Structure 1
Amino acid sequence: MQDKYVGDIGDFGKYALLNFLAKRDVVLGVVWYLTSAECDSRDGGFTQYLSSPDKANGLGKCDEELFDGLREIVQSRDRQVARVREGRILPGRTQFYEGRLEFDGVPPRKRPEVRKTWFERALKQVEGASLVFLDPDNGLSLNEKMKNRKAGPKHVYLDEVRQFLGRGQSLVVYCHQDRRKGGLEEQIRQGLELFRKESPIHKAWAFSFHRQSVRIYFVVPVCQSTAELLAQRSTAFNEGCFGAGGHFRLRR
């Protein structure tokens, strides 16, 4: 996650889904894998949808309160994740961790300790949440060799996922669409297979978001009661404006 993404069309989809899953009765935790903005990237510039709720096939009409909140942030020209917390974009009891994870200027031998300290603080900050959202730039990586390289902060790794699941916290994990053979369908299939192996009840499903660029959200519950609640809400979300409008697709 980077501050410059706040309020863009992907951010809208992200918070719309999290709000619907958590509502007021599920304590949400948000771990932004926050890195510094990349100057050579145009990502985060897709805010044209905020000019009218009718833009992007009526995306803003699906959650007008969220639309207004993000438009206010973008128009203020103060796009940073702290504004999401302060602006109550997500439910009031949401627990946030917004410490930066970056290796610029950090010697390779010191990076494991930097990441370990960062992650321990993240665990502590959201320990009271029952549903935790992990928001790296790129998504889940299984290549442990990359974990402490320069691009390592752009990914979440399996050992980190396991620590949340191991203490009874369900997860929503962000992944962007990559370029693997088989495309989006294969990426989702492989992701679901992996997360179903990691979950104690072997249930996981996903949403794909289809505005501007494709984004994937894997929902990984850890107990039967949570699975039933999140499954009911996922079905309702998919049957409502976001699914009917083609913005999201539920993948089971």
Structure 2
Amino acid sequence: MKNQFFGDLRDLFKYDLILNILEKNDSLQHLTFIPMLNKNDSSNEGNKRDFQKAKIHNLPGTHNEKLVEFLEPYKDVKANERDINSIESYFNSKDHKISIYKGQKGLYFEEQVRKEYFSEIPRELLTNSLIFIDPDIGLEVKYSREKHLLYSEVKNLYDRMDQNSTIMIYQHFPKFKKHPDYLHKRFLELKEKMGVLPLYTSDNEIIFFFLVKNETTKNSLQRVLDCYENEYERLKKVKRNMFIYSVPLQKIHQ
């Protein structure tokens, strides 16, 4: 992730979904936000900030008027002045505990410090927590860099977190790949690496994967995701299409 994109429509979806999960799951008492923060660059990809159009199309997060009111002004803030840490004040105003993990080696997530970055996360941040990992792109590819989250890093956090915690992972859909096929591939990889089948929700641009340790937590989270998806037709349509057009994805759920 990058500071320059703070407050865009993807953030609206992201933070509203997180709030829903925290508010409807008593075992999650804390948000541990692990931003794999990369330096700003000249790209403008994904920097969508037309909140009025988003409301018209009923995009995820737009029902949360207070969050819209908080994020929308960032469209007038210069890109180099935006800061992901600004979200802390919003969560505090909602009486939700949030820890934005920064690591020990500096502001940005870089390849040479990634091992220490994840291994030094305190255990108290992995207890009764929604552990949100936010890479710039998503899970590892063949030639992974600082924009990618390695499966070994997910496994490390999954093994260390307690039974009540949940891991949430941000993932972009890649260009030029069929979305159901890509989702199926990631499902298989996560199941192979973690030993559990993830839950997910998607707006057909980004995916959020969820990993839990027990059936009670999984069932509770699935109910929250189902209720959230029922609020937004786009989410329902994506989930429906994933199952209709991807036989492998159907099979993996059986």
Instruction: State the TM-score, normalized to the length of structure 2.
Output: 0.78
5+ long unaligned stretches in structure 2: 243-252
Counterpart mapping for 1:33-48 below 5 A: 33-39=36-42, 41-43=43-45, 45-48=47-50
The corresponding residue for 1:190 is 185
The corresponding residue for 1:29 is 32
What percent of counterpart residues are identical? 20
Q: RMSD of aligned C-alpha atoms?
A: 2.8
Verify the 8 A CA contact 1:31 1:134 in the aligned structure 2: yes
Distance 1:138 1:76, change over 3 A: closer
Letter in 1 for 2:154: V
1:65-87 deviations in whole A, cap 9, x for unaligned?
21111124444554211101123
Distance 1:236 1:53, change over 3 A: same
Counterpart mapping for 1:120-131 below 5 A: 120-122=119-121, 126-131=125-130
The corresponding residue for 2:158 is 165
For these two proteins, the number of residue pairs brought into alignment is 229
Counterpart mapping for 1:19-168 below 5 A: 19-23=19-23, 25=26, 26=28, 27-39=30-42, 41-43=43-45, 45-49=47-51, 51=52, 54-57=55-58, 61-75=62-76, 77=78, 78-88=81-91, 92-99=96-103, 100-103=107-110, 111-112=111-112, 114-122=113-121, 126-143=125-142, 146-147=143-144, 152-168=145-161
Cα distance in 2 between the residues matched to 1:11 and 1:117? 27
Cα distance in 1 between the residues matched to 2:2 and 2:41? 8
The corresponding residue for 1:107 is none
SS at match of 2:126: coil
Cα distance in 1 between the residues matched to 2:68 and 2:208? 20
Cα distance in 2 between the residues matched to 1:74 and 1:87? 17
The corresponding residue for 2:250 is none
Deviates more, 1:51-60 or 1:115-124: 51-60
5+ long unaligned stretches in structure 1: 104-110
Cα distance in 2 between the residues matched to 1:173 and 1:60? 18
1:196-240 deviations in whole A, cap 9, x for unaligned?
23445x232211124xxx111111112122111101111111122
C-alpha displacement at 1:97, in angstroms?
A: 1.3
